[in-house]
A and B are shown apart, each in its own frame.
Chain A
Amino acid sequence: MIKTKVIGRVFRQDEIADQIYDMWIETELAQGARPGQFVCVYTKNAAALLPRPISICEVNEEKTMLRLVYRTVGTGTNEFATYHAGAEISLLGPLGNGFPVEKAAGKRVFLIGGGIGIPPMLQLSKEIKKAGQAYCELSVLGYRNELFLNTDLEKYSQVYVATEDGSAGTKGTVLDAIKEKGLSGDVIFACGPMPMLRAIKEYAAANNMEAYISLEEHMACGVGACLGCVCKTKNVDAHSHVHNSRICTDGPVYNAEEVEI
């Protein structure tokens, strides 16, 4: 789907956990959006210029709405959190490559999400289930303490939870949960904080598993022009001809083996 900048309309918004907002937006961008892709959201504040990249959490059945679940961390997201149903919201998208759903075929799939990296796992989980080719689908979700989206994910996969404070599920990290529950799989799809992704890359390599990880970086243009959001690559990148790949355009999802994180 061609990238476009559009005005969407907020359908509803709720705070589903402390500082975690859940916003459904009516927009034509829903038509071509794939799991793991993102949209750039623009503020109405002329002093806050740059769009905020936010992952697509879910697309409704009719493909008329996108769901964004995000954490308020600063000027932009604090503004978005004030939007009520009916508010206009400026979006650019759909951006990025998304997760390679076809890699789930015939495999035991692990979906691993950490914190605000959990939202893209929902649409991914739905689509893997819909494709019906995965042998089994497990979601492992890591939180600081308060849970969110876990019940949504339970509709499509078996969910295991880890919390840093031990208030729910395994006390510790997603990898602690995998170990404690004796879980195993063939292919990993993951999104979350960099320490988690590093640990997953190592875990996947040690266990001969494929891992597809979604990275993030500060972005300006969102369309591959400014070269602000690069990650280091193992090999010379086909586009840049150096060891850098543009996360916004060639990512955000990479085979963990191909990136230096």
Chain B
Amino acid sequence: MNTKVTIAGVEFKNPVMTASGTFGSGMEYSDFVDLNKLGAVVTKGVANVPWPGNPTPRVAETYGGMLNAIGLQNPGIDVFVERDLAFLKNYDTKVIVNVCGKSVEDYIEVVEKLGDQDNVAMLEINVSCPNVKEGAIAFGQKADALMHITSEIKKKAKQPVIMKLSPNVTDITEMAKAAEAAGADAISLINTITGMKIDINRRKFALANKTGGLSGPAIKPVAVRMVYQAANAVKIPIIGMGGIANAEDALEFIMAGATAVSIGAMNFVNPYTTVETIEGIEAFMKKNQVEDINSLIGCVK
């Protein structure tokens, strides 16, 4: 039975990854999860300098999901390399570093600093965070802006580049095609859906940022639909995510056309979700006599 998948020449032992921002750099969850079992650890977004993020409250629960407006708080690339990347060297898993910035130059600075880090397998470029005002999503909601930043990053990047797409667009296929045309090696989707919650007793927004990104099982059908549409619009591989809670959910994304999947908000609900999903996929393959996970990718047309 083969659970290995390949994206842009990088081989993953299985298709299950962590979604950026929900797993830190793996350190916090290593009490619960054997990181060696994961297809990849996708790290929390990192910028060229430390970012303080947004005021609190930053998180709020919603029906079957949650809103967050962390605002990409991160310690900056230098600390990240010394501490987080060094920690991940102890594990036999692939590392994908999520990169954020406020300008093209910010992104390039991080991408260049990661160029000579040999345990970084791929870069995931965050052009879809809905919670920061400058940069980030400004690059991810217009096809020409997305093409521009993708091609600029591709010129400098030593590792294959994944562009992480926002669902907060009119036509996801247009964005997927723009990323592909500009040279992206893969795309990941969906980032969170912009939402809002109001505390009626306090007559205030639940989040200090007013709006936040909706994630969790509530968004899964939207994510599956977008992965399916993107998979049918581009040839580059797709990493699918959005509310995956178990192997059944992961397999939906794979059958819709994702080569790999990421577990996000459900890590908070059950810290063992990643490993249980891997085991569940293997059990499904055994039960249904599937020899190779790759035969399931995009099998539903």
Q: Is B272 positioned at the interface, with any CB of A under 8 Å from its CB?
A: yes
**Stretch from A23-31, A125-133, A195-203, A237-245 at the B interface:** A237-245
- Contact B65–A49 (Cβ < 8 Å): yes
Contacts of A4 in B (CB 8 A): 31-32
Q: How far in angstroms is the closest Cβ of chain B from A231? A: 8
1/0 per residue, CB under 8 A from B, across A217-240: the answer is: 111111111111111000000011
**Of A5, A47, A226, which one neighbours B68 at CB under 8 angstroms?**
A226
Bound: A92/B65 CA distance, A: 19
Q: Size of chain B's interface in residues, with CB distance under 8 A? A: 39
Given contacts A221-B268, A225-B24, contact A49 B59 (CB under 8 A): no
- Contact A5–B73 (Cβ < 8 Å): no
Q: How far in angstroms is the closest Cβ of chain B from A99? A: 22
Bound: A170/B52 CA distance, A: 42
- Contact B58–A243 (Cβ < 8 Å): no
- Contact A5–B59 (Cβ < 8 Å): no
Q: How far in angstroms is the closest Cβ of chain B from A52? A: 10
Q: Is A183 positioned at the interface, with any CB of B under 8 Å from its CB?
A: no
**Of A42, A218, A249, which one neighbours B269 at CB under 8 angstroms?**
A42
Q: Which residue of B lies closest to A240 (CB)?
A: B75
- Contact B73–A227 (Cβ < 8 Å): yes
Q: Which residue of A lies closest to B265 (CB)?
A: A49
- Contact A244–B53 (Cβ < 8 Å): yes
Given contacts A3-B32, A227-B58, A241-B75, contact A220 B268 (CB under 8 A): yes
Q: Is B60 positioned at the interface, with any CB of A under 8 Å from its CB?
A: yes
Q: How far in angstroms is the closest Cβ of chain B from A76? A: 8
Q: Which residue of A lies closest to B56 (CB)?
A: A217
Given contacts A225-B24, A226-B22, A249-B28, contact A5 B75 (CB under 8 A): no
Q: Is A206 positioned at the interface, with any CB of B under 8 Å from its CB?
A: no
**Of B29, B63, B265, B272, which one neighbours A47 at CB under 8 angstroms?**
B63
Q: Is A51 positioned at the interface, with any CB of B under 8 Å from its CB?
A: yes
Besides A47-B63, A49-B265, 17 other CB < 8 A contacts? A3-B31, A46-B64, A49-B217, A49-B269, A50-B269, A220-B268, A221-B267, A222-B268, A223-B29, A224-B24, A225-B22, A226-B68, A228-B56, A230-B53, A241-B76, A241-B79, A242-B51
A-B contact pairs, 19 of them (CB 8 A): A3-B31, A49-B269, A50-B59, A50-B269, A92-B271, A220-B68, A221-B267, A222-B268, A223-B31, A224-B28, A225-B24, A225-B29, A226-B24, A226-B59, A226-B268, A228-B59, A242-B50, A242-B75, A243-B52
